[in-house]
């Protein structure tokens, strides 16, 4: 049961958690430039000290591109590990939905 049901159903949630954690790490690793003078944060800190706004913008763009690429990679991985039966059971916007109580009654005619 664990190998055939629980792990395949829980894997997309695990990948989603890793996706969120990765983006938080990328967002906060720039703070390491203040502490240890390394990483992409170093270029931002150095650009602030030198008033080199093109260096600040360049480092910020690299960080943004890195975050977007990692997010897309984890999103594709998350979509790839969804079990086949679960992906087929998703409701689409044009698919009719069924209620457990049966079909909804027709609206009452307008007395006017």
- Cα(68)–Cα(17) distance, rounded to whole angstroms? 16
The first and second tokens of residue 18, run together, are: 């890793």
Looking at the chain, list the stretches that DSSP marks H as alpha helix, in order from N- to C-terminal side: 7-28, 32-36, 40-50, 53-80, 84-88
* Percent of residues, the chain, with pLDDT higher than 70: 79
Q: What is the pTM of this model?
A: 0.68
Q: For residue 89, name the pLDDT band (cuts at 50, 70, 90).
A: low
Residue 29, pLDDT > 70, answer yes
- Cα(2)–Cα(8) distance, rounded to whole angstroms? 9
- What's residue 36's pLDDT? 80
In 10 A of CB 81, how many CB atoms?
Answer: 15
Q: How many residues does the chain have?
A: 112
- Domain extents for the chain? 2-82
- Cα(81)–Cα(49) distance, rounded to whole angstroms? 45
- Cα(81)–Cα(28) distance, rounded to whole angstroms? 28
The first and second tokens of residue 82, run together, are: 């969804």
Is the distance from CB of 39 to CB of 33 less than 8 angstroms?
Answer: yes
């Amino acid at each position: 049961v664990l190998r055939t049901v629980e792990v395949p159903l829980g894997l997309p949630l695990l990948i989603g958690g890793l996706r969120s954690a990765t983006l938080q790490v990328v967002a906060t690793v720039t703070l390491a430039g203040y502490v240890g003078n390394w990483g992409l944060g170093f270029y931002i800190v150095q650009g602030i000290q030198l008033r080199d706004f093109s260096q600040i913008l360049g480092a910020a763009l690299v960080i943004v591109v890195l975050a977007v690429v990692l997010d897309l990679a984890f999103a594709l991985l998350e979509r790839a590990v969804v079990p086949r039966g679960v992906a087929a059971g998703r409701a689409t916007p044009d698919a009719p939905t069924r209620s457990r109580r049966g079909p909804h009654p027709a609206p009452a005619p307008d007395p006017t």
